[in-house]
Amino acid sequence: MKQAVRLGPIAVANPPHRLATARSLEVARALAPDEVSTAVLARLHDRSGIEQRNCAILDADGGVPLYGIGPQGGDDDPRVPGTAARMIAYEEHARRLAVDAAARAIEADAHGPDRITHLVTASCTGFDAPGVDRSVMDAVDLRADIRRTHVGFMGCHAAVNALAVARAFAAEDPRHRVLVVCVEISSVHFHRDQRLDRLISNTLFADGAAATVVALGDTGPELAATAATVIPDTIDVMGWRIGDYGFEMTLGAEVPAHLRANLPAWIERTLAAHELSIDAIGGWAIHPGGPRVIDAVVESLGLPEDAGATSRAVLREHGNMSSVTLLFILDRLARDSSPGPWVGLAFGPGLAGEFLLIR
């Protein structure tokens, strides 16, 4: 019998501090131009579905020095940092969180670091070289001859891309063991802008890391398949570009409508290729680009309302951590012993969709 590629336990890493809704609104008020009303900012927070967000750049006293925001209840001197300053903050926090998640994943893997042959990392919120992959190598004592691959700047669906790469490496040889690490520090890209999509980005995005080991013949769930699609005529609907003052998000309000119109046929076709139907799926890991994205997926596929419950819970408790979020949701499904098979769905610039099947 052909061995299956298996997914090991997922290890997650959170920053030490989280941005609760009340403080998030205060930070948003300090960052927003004067012409943006507090009522608008409050409404965006109310609609976000988030009660607290992981925030690596948040101090224990509630201050956010990167943006000149003082301690909670103190004075602010808001500033707009350049991209270089933001990347310095990214390097510091991304390395720490990536190492934390990787160490936990290695600890949960019975074979230890010496057996890891490949390292696949994913991140879209920063660039540096040597990057988080080298920091992980040194911190968890990976072999010097490890094969490294970085999935960069693909956005919220990059965890699926990273797992697809890991699955291919693992399937090549039963000796291959692939450590996958996703890390995002979205908070270094808050903007001082009156554009609605930038205000929404300031409200939604968060930080975190997650890691797992992928290999042939292990005892975890099968990493059965991945698939992808690009929705026609949507290239400008969602974008992520490097600007002088951080990475600039374009997030069109029409994203949920495009998902509603295009998702059912793609998912039905993809599942049919694996002799499955929508009704056969026991757990759904829907990347929470926001509450409306979860709504669009659940409603367009005719899923029961509780199909989006795990995604909503992760969004509520952690915020949208870009590529990391899907792994947090899969970890929650595993810990809750949700019946399989599971489908993971995530969407990113393009407008692109990525599909993951776990049996």
CATH number reported for the structural domain that contains residue 146 in this entry: 3.40.47.10
- Does one domain contain both 275 and 317? yes
The predicted pLDDT at position 1 comes to 58
Burial 118-144 (b: 16+ CB within 10 A, else e): bbbbbbbbbbeeebbbbbbbebbebee
pLDDT at 33 over 80: yes
pLDDT of residue 250: 87
Q: From the centroid of its chain, how far is CA 267? A: 21
Statement to judge: residues 248 and 212 lie in one domain? no
- Exposed (0-12), middle (13-18) or buried (19+): which is 311, by Cβ within 10 Å? buried
Stated as kind and residue range, the H or E segment containing 291 is helix 291-300
Number of domains in the chain: 2
**pLDDT value of position 217:** 83
What is the per-residue pLDDT across 104-127, written as a single tens digit (0 to 9) for each?
Answer: 999 999 899 999 999 999 999 999
Look at residue 219 and tell me whether its pLDDT is greater than 90: no
Q: What is the mean pLDDT of residues 23-38?
A: 94
Q: What is the pLDDT of residues 147-198, one digit of tens each?
A: 999 999 999 999 999 999 999 999 999 999 999 999 999 999 999 988 999 9
Q: What pLDDT does 157 receive?
A: 96
Q: Is residue 104 part of a domain?
A: yes
pLDDT of residue 221 exceeding 90, the answer is yes
Report how far residue 19's alpha carbon sits from residue 80's, in angstroms, rounded to the nearest whole number.
20
**CA gyration radius for the chain?**
20
Q: What's the mean pLDDT when you consider all of the chain?
A: 95
Q: Is 156 an annotated catalytic residue?
A: yes
Domain carrying residue 296: 223-358
Give the closest residue to 234 by CA, choosing from 202, 198, 262, 270. Answer: 262
Spell out where 43-172 has E strands: 52-54, 118-123, 147-152
Residue 271 shares a structural domain with residue 346: yes
CA atoms within 13 A on the CB side of 185: 23
> By the 8 A CB rule, do 132 and 121 touch?
yes
pLDDT at residue 153 in the model: 94
Same domain, 251 and 329: yes
Q: Do residues 342 and 282 make contact, with C-beta atoms less than 8 angstroms apart? A: yes
Q: Give domain status of residue 338, yes or no.
A: yes
Residue 75 pLDDT exceeds 80: yes
pLDDT in tens, 232-289: 999 989 888 999 999 998 888 899 999 999 999 999 999 999 999 999 999 999 999 9
**Cβ-based burial of 78 (10 A; exposed 0-12, middle 13-18, buried ≥19):** middle
Residues 211 and 252 in one domain: no
Predicted pLDDT of residue 253 = 86
Residue 74 in domain: no
Average pLDDT (50-67) is: 97
Dihedral sign, Cα of residue 62, residue 63, residue 64, residue 67: positive
pLDDT for 249: 87
pLDDT at 325 over 70: yes
Find, among 189, 102, 185, 193, the residue nearest to 148 by Cα. 102
Contact at 8 Å (CB) between 307 and 298?
yes
User: Same structural domain for residues 181 and 237?
Assistant: no
Same domain, 211 and 242: no
User: Whole-prediction pTM value?
Assistant: 0.96
Query: What residue type is assigned to position 62 of the chain?
Result: G
Tell whether 353 is covered by a domain: yes
- What pLDDT sits at residue 268? 97
- Using the predicted structure, report yes or no on whether residue 20 has a pLDDT greater than 80: yes
**Residues 210 and 243 placed together within one structural domain of the fold:** no
